[in-house]
Structure 1
Amino acid sequence: MTTIDELWTDRRLPVRDALHFPGDGGSYDVVRDPYVLGCLGVREAFDAPKVIAEDPEWLTTLMPLEEVPLEDGGFLWGGEGSWGSEGFFARVGADDSLRWVVFFTDSNPFEDPIDLSDGYATFRSSADLSFIVDIEDPRRPVRSPRPRGQTPSA
C-alpha cells in the first residue's frame, strides 16, 4: 500500500495542487490550463511520499459534498478540504477505493452538481471554477464535445 493509499483510507491528502492515483500510479502537479477553458493542466510527476515526509503535518481532510453514481458501481465525488479555500474532485470505486483524485488549495469546494456525459465529467466549485475531465484518466486531453444529436461529418 502506497502513502497516497494509506492517506486515502482516512480521507486525507497533502496540501498541494495535485492529481493522485492509487498504487504506484503517481502524483502530478496540476494547474488550470491557461489556454483551454475548463481543462486541467497536468504537469510534472512528483514524489508524494517525499513531500509528505518533509512536512507530515501539511495534510488536509477531505469531505465529499456531491456524488454521482457510475454504471460500474463507483462514484464521482466533489467536495472540500479542511480549510475553506480547498476543493477536490475524485473517482472512487464501489467500495470507496481511490481511482484518482484532484485537489486544489484555492478553488473553494466543488459542491455544485456534477455533470456527466459521454465519459466526461464537469466539476464546478463555489468560486465558479470549472474543470472537464475524462473520468477514466484525467490526464487525457479533453476533446470538444459535439452538440447533442449532431453526427460527425464524413
Structure 2
Amino acid sequence: MSKINELWNKEKLPTKDGIYFANGESFSFLAEFYPYVFIKKGESFNLVDFLNKNPDCITTIDIFQKIKIQMGGTCLLGEGSHGSEGFIAYISSDEKLNWVIYFEESNPFINAIELPDKFLEVESSANYRIILDLKNPINIVSIKGIEM
C-alpha cells in the first residue's frame, strides 16, 4: 500500500502542495492564491522521503462534499485542519483513492460540477474555480480568478 493510501485511510494528507496518486507517484505544484490564482506543475518527488524529513507535515481532513461522477467514482472536496487548506480527491466506485490534490493556501473546496469530456470544475470558498481533466488531473486546464 502506498504512503498516500495509508494517510488517506486515516483521513490525513501531507501538507505539501501537489497531486498524489494511489500508485505512489507524487508531483509538487507551485501555487499562489492571492492576489491572483496561479498553479503550475512542479517536479515529481518521493512522499516517503518528504515525510521522513518533515514528519510534522501532516493534516487531518474534513470532507465537505461528495459528487458522483458519470464516468464512475466520486469526487470528494474539503479542507485540512488548518482552515486555509483545500483538497480535491477522486475515488473509484469501490471507494479506493485514485488521486488527491492538496493545496496549503487554497481555502476549502466546496463544490464541483462535472463538465463534458470528463472535465471537472471545482470551486473554492475563496470564490475561484479550477478546471481539471479527471483522466489526467496533473494538468490544471484553467483557472477562473477571484471575483471581488
Normalised by the length of structure 1, the TM-score is 0.80
Runs of at least 4 residues off by over 6 Å: none
Match of 2:19 in 1: 19
Say which SS state the counterpart of residue 5 (structure 1) adopts: helix
Q: CA RMSD in A?
A: 2.2
User: Which runs of structure 2 are paired with 1:35-114 in the superposition (5 Å)?
Assistant: 40-111=39-110, 113-114=111-112
Say which SS state the counterpart of residue 142 (structure 1) adopts: strand
Match of 2:2 in 1: 2
Normalised by the length of structure 2, the TM-score is 0.83
- Cα separation, 1, equivalents of 2:16 and 2:74: 23
- Cα separation, 1, equivalents of 2:49 and 2:77: 27
Which amino acid is the alignment partner of residue 115 of structure 2?
S
Which amino acid is the alignment partner of residue 51 of structure 1?
F
* Count of residues paired in the alignment: 139
> Which has the higher mean CA deviation after the structures are superposed, 70-79 or 95-104?
70-79
Contact 2:17–2:28 (CA under 8 A) maintained in structure 1: yes
User: Which runs of structure 2 are paired with 1:110-121 in the superposition (5 Å)?
Assistant: 110-111=109-110, 113-118=111-116, 119-121=118-120
Aligned-residue offset at 1:40:
4.6
Unpaired stretches in structure 2, ≥5 consecutive residues? 143-148
Which amino acid is the alignment partner of residue 42 of structure 2?
R
Quick check: which one's strand share is greater?
2
Contact 2:87–2:100 (CA under 8 A) maintained in structure 1: yes
Which amino acid is the alignment partner of residue 136 of structure 2?
D
- Cα separation, 2, equivalents of 1:127 and 1:39: 14
- Cα separation, 1, equivalents of 2:27 and 2:73: 23
Which amino acid is the alignment partner of residue 30 of structure 2?
V
Structure number with greater Rg is: 1
Aligned-residue offset at 1:137:
1.6
Unpaired stretches in structure 1, ≥5 consecutive residues? 144-154
Contact 2:107–2:125 (CA under 8 A) maintained in structure 1: yes
Contact 2:78–2:87 (CA under 8 A) maintained in structure 1: yes
